[in-house]
Each structure stands twice: as structure tokens, then as C-alpha cells.
Structure 1
Amino acid sequence: MIAAAALSLALVTQDAAPLRAAANDNAPTQAQLWPGDALEVRGERLGWLQVWDHRRERPGYIRATQVRPISTDAARAQELLSVLRFVRDTPGTESLGIGYAAAYLRAVPAAQLNPEALEAVGQMAERLAQRASSRNAVALAQAGVTAAPTGGVDARLSGHLDGVRAYGVNFQSIEQDGSVRLCYDGEAYQRLLAHPQATPEHKGRALLGLTRHDCVAPTLTLSEREGHTQRRAALLDSLNASEWTALPEQMRNQLRLRRAGVWAELAHSQARRGQAAQPAGQRAVHELAAILKTELSEDDQAAYKEAAIRVGASRWAAEAAVTAPTLSARPSLMTQAGEPGQTCVLLVDAQHGPQAPLLKRCTWGVPWLASAKVNVRGDAVALAVQPLPAWRELWLMKKTDSGWVVEVLPPASGNVLGSDIGYVEFAGWVPEAEPKLLLARESRTEGRFTRRFEVALQDTLNIDKQASTPELLSGFKRWAEPAWRKQTVALR
């Protein structure tokens, strides 16, 4: 009893631990508790602890084997930190680890706070959000369901999420394409960046956590998204030269990959607003080119492919803008403003000026006029058009018996609806009896990355040949444009 009186707090360590009305396994269940739940201990009897659950505001009894006693005295802070270090990297123990982190933050004097604890909270919160980012689990969490009698996976995740929210760990729901993702709001990372004792590695991991691409809400307006992208770019550039030098090469690679994607998005945003996008586009290309591939881990390969696609989608921003064309017998392209937010592409020649163009097509995206390529016969024009920050299409304008038409080629030739990022680009004309064009496609479809090189028929756009590398296609060996080989990221 004396030991029980000295013990004031305990953390639940087991899933769906019952809080009972009496010290008996047959007593009614008051609530189901989850790892990390903090309880005030008020007594002990026959292997049971008499506790008070402040979060649920109810008393009860719980078996002593289902909790671990903790103390928030300053002298015990290092013990709490040691346990936190033990559980922080164990999948499935995030809520328990955050409970220990909260106890440590309560116990340690502010001047002695180890920034490692803040980093651990951020990493565990991110991992918990990733586990919970399935449709069923998120639906339960949003509905406020805490525990189901079955104790299934959804109830378990929901219980863990509710538990960490009690410690001030908050999540945002990002809805896109019929699915929901939970994202940690990053408060611990923000505090970590401001901590005077944070090391460059601490800051690097915090920056990666605060600038994730998949946690940008698609509901943001254009101006809101551009402001958010600018803030992410500023965060990624916040490390000074000495801090950057002190980082291990692998983390520098990870930050370069994130920078490349952020600056590519910023270039697209600036181009849509009619601003000079070339500096941002060149910065994106530079960050991708600076990657030291030998220091990319297996886990970093997906991030490298994603960054390359994002840069590839906006790579024309790095090129100088073209001037208004001089009308001649060969067709050329120019643009004019359409409805608010729209840009109209005009196909013109010496006899068909902007007042009566051969073809007019408007878009909410960015038509990169520097990418326009006219074939030798002058009856086809290829143009890169970027409707989204990480999605670039190819417009093929063709002359037919009934006039000029335009066909749109998406980055993914199969399941386009399942693709979230990608680009398709023109690589060259094949001037044969049956004219063809060379294409390079790269996309992410349902989490899988695909890079493919194709030879397509100009008239029907049917794929004649395709391969995983251009060296396997004779058309690329002979007809691929040198400028494409120099500029594309598909040949990285």
C-alpha cells in the first residue's frame, strides 16, 4: 500500500485493455484502454490497480500487468527518455511511445530538454498516420469510434489515434480521388526546428516531415497553394552552410529530392500566374542533378523516381521563354488570354493569323511554347501542356482532310485514373512513309512507377514499338532529337 501511494501515474501497454467497475474479470467494462493512455493510480488490491481515467473522466480497475508505472519527477526524466528510445522505432507502438514522450516532456526541466524527444514524437506521429491512412480506419477515426468489441484493426488504430490526440498530437485529413490520408500537423517538428540544441540531423528530419508532397491539401486555391509551396521552399533552404555540410550525404540527398519537387511545383505555379518561372525551373533541375546516386538507399529509390517525375513535368520552365513567332508558310504557335485563368493556344501561319487561326484550343494549364516541334512536312505539331504541378500532357496537332485537329496524350497509356503524377514528352519525328513520333512516358500508377519509351504512329497514335530503355529501339538511335537527349530527365 505504501508503494501504491507513492506511485501516481501508469501508462497502459496493451491493446483493448478493459477498465472494469471492480477488481474482477467478471465486472462490467467501463471502457477499453489503449497503449499510451495515462491513468492516475489511487490504490492497489489483489493484482489490480484502482485508477482514475482523466480523459474519459471515470474511475475503474485495471490489472497491474496491463500497465507500467511511471514517475514525472525530474530525477526520473532520463529513465523515461531511455524507454522512449527503446519503443520509438518499433512499428505498432507509436501511441505508447508518444505517451512516454509526453511523460518525459512533463518531467524534464525546460533547459534540459533533449530535442531527441521532439523528433521521436514527430516520427511516431507520422508512422501512426501512415498506418491509419486506409479508408476504413480513417472513416472510423473521423466518426469518433474509439473501440469495437471485436478489437479489430480499425478499432485498434482508432483507439491509438484518439489516445495520442489527448496529448495534443493532431492530424489533418487529406481527401483526394476518393481516398483519405491522415497527415501529422508537424507541431513537434516546428518546435524541434526552434530548439537551440537541435543538431543538423534533427533539423533535416524535421524539414522532411514538414514538407511532404502527399500532405498538401488538394482543396487549396491556386494562391493558397503557391503560398504553401513558397513556405516549403523557404523551410528547405533554412539550413545554413555549416549545418548543411554537417549532414550525412544520404540526408542531403533526401533534402535535395524534396527541394527538386517543391521548386518544380513552384515553377509551374509561377508560370500559371504569368510570372518568370525560369529561375525556379532551373533550381529544380539543379537539385535533381546534384543527387549522389551512390548514396541513395533502397528506401530512397521511390523518392528519387517521384522527384524525377515532378521535375520532368515542369522541366520546360527551365528553358527561356520564346518570343512571338514570325508568320511563315510553316505552322507555328502563339498564345492569347482566354477566360479568366485560361490560356488559348493558336496554330497560325502566313495566311491564318491570330484572328483566324488554323486551330484554337484553350487550357487551364501551362502550354510550354518552347517545347513546340513541327515535323518536316509541316502537317503535325507537338506541344507540351502542363495542367497540374506534377502532370504534363502532350498535344499533337495534326492536319486532316477536314482541317486541323488536336489529340491529347496523357502520361499513362493504361489506367490513367490510377495515375497521380507523370509526364509524356516528344522525343523526335520519324520521317518514314508512314510517319511516326518518338515518345517518353513516366508515371506513378497506384503506387508503381513506370518509365517507357515508345514509337507511335502519327495518324492513329497507336504504339508501334515500346521498350524500357531507348537503346532497344532503333527509332530512338536514329531519330531522337539531340536537344531532347540533353534536356530530358527520362535518361537520368
Structure 2
Amino acid sequence: MRTIVFLASLFAFAAVQAAPAANVPAAPEPNPTAIVVIDQAALRAAPRESAQQQVVLWQGDSLEVRGRRMDYLQVYDHRRERAGYVRASQVRLLSLQPQDAAGLLAVVRFLRDTPGAEALGIGYAAAFLRAAPGKDIDAEAFDALGAMAERLARRASSNRSKANDAVIAAHLEVVAGYGVAMRSLEREGRVQVCYDGDAFRRVMALPAGAEQKARAALALTREECIDPATTPFERASLDGWRADVLDRVPRADLPEYLKNRVRMRTAAVWSSLAFERVRRGEPAAEAAARALQELTGVNRQELAEDDASAYSDAAVRVGAVRWAAEPAPAKTAIGLAVTTATGQPGETCIRLVDAKHGDKAPLFQRCTYGTVWTNSARANAGGTALTLAVQPLDAWREMWVFHRNGNEWTVDVVPPAGDAPDVGYVEFAGWVPGGRKLLAAREVRVGGRFSRTFEVLDLDTLAVDKRADKPDSLSTFYRWQDPLWKGQTVSLR
């Protein structure tokens, strides 16, 4: 039995407030409510320290008070369906009368930003929502409740100490008793705990301040809280909803650092929408342009240090899909080029052609289930090699290198990283005269950390000859980088 389901309690209280007072007998006074304020408080069978311990109580647990014996309160725990005694110093008595709601909200305001006190703060928030008249409830309480639930979920996800496992698990059980739902997702062998966002949805639905709306939208649109098992159709629908939520945030009055966070999240979401639209055969230029616009709108002078990773993530996602916003190059009658044709269901077949070898007799053909960005094709001056961007997954773009070995043509795939696909792209950045080397830019997330490198690759082996974290640090790269790439890439941001 849940001790306080705040939504049901709120509606019940509102119904009582609206009922006519005439000829209605006074309701009996409910037993007082107490909330546990420390972890591992003992619920004992008798009012003495030596008595048997019934259960262990945790901060935020709500108890019905039924009496007092010496310095112990006689209580009943509805969540565990246990009665017993608890020291009076380990709990706080709560008044759930309307006139005392303001005091409960003051405690919520204090606890909302107190690390480790999330369960206690959620207990006080539930008590406020139960006590306050409906007309006095606005977005502030739900904003605080959501912030504490979100922080508890992050604590659970980032916990690496077995000593804290029991405490976090107990706090999650406490807040579940108040109707706060958490979801557990498995990602890369680890468990990601996510708050379901009910309180934040209420913030978005109620009249609320710009900062409250921004915090709610950012919490509701977290990439890491999307179920990996989501189907492509469900993901496209979800990303459309995420974009709508972010667009409902009024930005004019936001602090610059918070405005940056909204821009970065919006850029990431619209990059996913662009990729999904291309996969469905729909126009994607507008979505990709919106992603680029949001990324370039980030004020890097006001970028918080904690947001550096989020900025890199948004940039890589936008960089992976940027070809959707680029126009197709003018066709030429000579030199290498690529055309595409439909293969097996879901496949795109890439055909390498030149002035003498057309679609019916191409120099080389390879099929893929990835998205082929034909406008990215770049051939070298000697007509012996061509690079092409192919994107098999959202936020993961490869570079395919077609090159001639003697009289035979072959293709090699250069992935952003050798590990399992995560977030990253690698792209052509220029040809080095002589035809045996090419330049590439690479951004990738490996082990949770982002790296950005500029490289000189050997065309025969595609091994990295030289690399640096800035193009100016490589004389070959600085001298021969492609002007068109330099004007389009996001890697030089």
C-alpha cells in the first residue's frame, strides 16, 4: 500500500474542498503523519533500544502515528504493513492542514538542491501536494519533485561503490512508494536508471517560468534514457515529440548557459530527425539545417564546464548528418563519380562510374544498408581514388575509399573507431598531391570521452601516417586541406 500517492491525494482533497459544508458531519481528525529523516532508523517491537528490530526505515519513509511512549512514537508503516515503535528524534511530525502547506514547501525548497536527500525531499513534496489547496499548487512543487527524482536516478546510474548500493536501492523503494516511477535500461553492460518524467510533464503543462520549462524539457529529452530496444518507427515518433517539447521552451529570458543547453539538445534531436527522414525517403534538408543552426547558435563564451561533453556530443551528431543540408555538387562529364540504385529490400547499391563506364557497366559496385551521401563523393586528380560518406546508424558515419590496385577496383571502409558503434564520424578533408595520401578529420566518443583528430592517411593501407588535434599542427594537412571541406565541416568549430 502506498503511503502517499500525491496525485490521488490532491484530487481527493480538492473534492473535499468543493463539497458543500451544510449538513455534513465533521470528519474525524486523521492520525498524525511522521516522516523519517535519517537512514537506517529502526522500527522496533517495543519502545526500548533492546527490543527486536522489525524493519529498517530510511529517510523519506512516511509513517502513521498512533501514540507515544516515553521518547518513542508508536507508528504504522503502510508501505511494509508493519507496526512498531521508532525514536521520536529520528522522525518529524507533519501537519497536512492547508494552513501549514507553505511550511512544507519551504522545506522542499531547501532539500531540492541537497545531494543525498532526494528521498526525504520527495516525501516532503508529496506531503505538500496532499496538504495544499488545489489553487495554491503551481509548477514549483513539480519542478522540485522532478529535479530530486532526476538527481536520484543519476546517483543510481553513476554509483560505483558497493557500500552505497543498499542506500540507493532503499531510497528508490521509498520514492516508489510515493508514485515516483523509475526505469532501468541496460547500456554497454551497465544499468542506466531513468526517472519517467511525470512531474516534468506537469511542469510543461502548467504555467511555469522559462527556467522551469527548460529544466523540464532537458530532463524529458535525454538521449541516454531512450530504450535501446526502441524500433526505428517508434524512435522517429519519439524524436518528433522531443523536438516539440524543446520548441515549447521560451528562450528569450533564459540565462545564456541554460539557453546553450537547450540549443545543444535541440541540435542533437534535429540531427536524428534528419537521419530518420532520409531513411524513410523524405526531405531532410530542413531538419539538418535546423540542427546546424542550433549548433552554431551555441555561445561558447558562456558554455559551462560541465556542458563540454554535451557540446561535443551535439557537434558529432550534427557532423555525422551534415551532408543532408549540403547541396549536390555540379555534375561533370569526366572523372570518377558514384550513382546509386535499389538493391535488395532496404539496400542501396553504389556504382563507381566514369566517362567510359556508366551504370550498365560500372567500374565497381557495392551494396549497403546504410545511408549513402552521394553529394559527399570526392575523387582525386588522377582518377585513381574516390571517397564517399556512408552512414549506417544515427550519429555514426563512415568513410568509404574506392581505389584502384592495378587494373582492379576495390573499396575499404574507414570507421570512426575500431570499437562497437557509438557516436562518431570520419570524413574526407583533402587529397595530397601525388595520389597516395589523403587527409581525414575524425571525431568519436570512446569510453565516454570525446576525441577530435586531423590525420594523414596512406591510400594503400589507410593507416594513419600522422595525426594531430589541430590542423595547423600538421604542415601537410594545413597546406592541402580541401577548401570546400573547410567551409562545410563542423570539426573546425
TM over 0.5: yes
Counterparts of 1:52-201 in structure 2, within 5 Å, are: 52-133=76-157, 152-196=163-207, 198-201=208-211
Q: Specify whether residues 160 and 316 from structure 1 end up closer, same or farther in structure 2 by C-alpha distance, changes over 3 A only.
A: same
Task: Give yes or no for contact 2:43–2:84 (8 Å, CA) kept in 1.
Answer: yes
**Structure 1 residue corresponding to 2:364, chosen from 359, 364, 380:** 359
Distance 1:238 1:342 in 2: 37
Distance 1:305 1:336 in 2: 35
Please tell me the residue identity of whatever aligns with 1:166. G
Q: Specify whether residues 406 and 155 from structure 1 end up closer, same or farther in structure 2 by C-alpha distance, changes over 3 A only.
A: same
Task: Give yes or no for contact 1:380–1:399 (8 Å, CA) kept in 2.
Answer: yes
Partner of 1:421: 423
Task: Give yes or no for contact 1:134–1:180 (8 Å, CA) kept in 2.
Answer: no
Task: Give yes or no for contact 1:72–1:104 (8 Å, CA) kept in 2.
Answer: yes
Distance 2:92 2:336 in 1: 77
Distance 2:384 2:461 in 1: 14
Q: Are 2:67 and 1:43 equivalent residues in the alignment?
A: yes
How far off is 1:50 after superposition? 1.0
Q: Give 3-state SS (helix, strand or coil) of 1:258's partner.
A: helix
How far off is 1:321 after superposition? 4.5
Counterparts of 1:173-252 in structure 2, within 5 Å, are: 173-196=184-207, 198-239=208-249, 243-252=250-259
Structure 1 residues without counterparts, runs of 5 or longer? 138-150
Distance 1:115 1:376 in 2: 62
How far off is 1:359 after superposition? 2.3
How far off is 1:435 after superposition? 1.5
Q: Deviations over 1:240-278 (max 9, x none)?
A: xxx321222222111111110000110011111111110
Q: Are 2:342 and 1:337 equivalent residues in the alignment?
A: yes
Please tell me the residue identity of whatever aligns with 1:352. H
How far off is 1:425 after superposition? 0.9
Distance 2:361 2:52 in 1: 82
Please tell me the residue identity of whatever aligns with 1:70. L
Please tell me the residue identity of whatever aligns with 1:364. Y
Please tell me the residue identity of whatever aligns with 1:341. G
CA RMSD of aligned residues (A): 2.0
Please tell me the residue identity of whatever aligns with 1:155. A
Distance 1:14 1:407 in 2: 61
Partner of 1:439: 440
Q: Deviations over 1:159-211 (max 9, x none)?
A: 11111111111122222332221111111011111113x11111111111111
Please tell me the residue identity of whatever aligns with 1:54. H
Partner of 2:390: 385
Counterparts of 1:404-419 in structure 2, within 5 Å, are: 404-412=409-417, 416-417=419-420
Percent identity over paired residues: 51
Q: Specify whether residues 384 and 43 from structure 1 end up closer, same or farther in structure 2 by C-alpha distance, changes over 3 A only.
A: same
How far off is 1:392 after superposition? 1.0
Moved more, 373-382 or 400-409: 400-409
How far off is 1:331 after superposition? 2.5
Please tell me the residue identity of whatever aligns with 1:20. R
TM-score after normalising by structure 1:
0.90
Q: Are 2:394 and 1:376 equivalent residues in the alignment?
A: no
Q: Give 3-state SS (helix, strand or coil) of 2:358's partner.
A: coil
Partner of 1:464: 465
Please tell me the residue identity of whatever aligns with 2:283. A
Please tell me the residue identity of whatever aligns with 1:347. L
Distance 2:337 2:159 in 1: 48
Task: Give yes or no for contact 1:7–1:71 (8 Å, CA) kept in 2.
Answer: no
Task: Give yes or no for contact 2:122–2:145 (8 Å, CA) kept in 1.
Answer: yes
In the TM superposition, structure 1's runs of 4+ consecutive aligned residues that sit over 4 Å from their partners are 134-137
How far off is 1:136 after superposition? 8.2
Q: Deviations over 1:5-26 (max 9, x none)?
A: 9971111122222222222333
Distance 1:162 1:6 in 2: 25
Partner of 1:145: none
How far off is 1:402 after superposition? 6.5
Moved more, 211-220 or 96-105: 211-220
Distance 1:160 1:306 in 2: 31
Q: Specify whether residues 255 and 100 from structure 1 end up closer, same or farther in structure 2 by C-alpha distance, changes over 3 A only.
A: same
Task: Give yes or no for contact 2:288–2:325 (8 Å, CA) kept in 1.
Answer: yes
Distance 1:124 1:42 in 2: 30
Task: Give yes or no for contact 1:7–1:70 (8 Å, CA) kept in 2.
Answer: no
Partner of 1:147: none
Q: Are 2:277 and 1:282 equivalent residues in the alignment?
A: no
Q: Give 3-state SS (helix, strand or coil) of 2:477's partner.
A: helix
Structure 2 residues without counterparts, runs of 5 or longer? 1-28
Partner of 1:395: 400
Q: Give 3-state SS (helix, strand or coil) of 2:83's partner.
A: strand
Partner of 1:20: 44
Counterparts of 1:479-490 in structure 2, within 5 Å, are: 479-490=480-491
Task: Give yes or no for contact 2:267–2:291 (8 Å, CA) kept in 1.
Answer: yes
Task: Give yes or no for contact 1:7–1:69 (8 Å, CA) kept in 2.
Answer: no
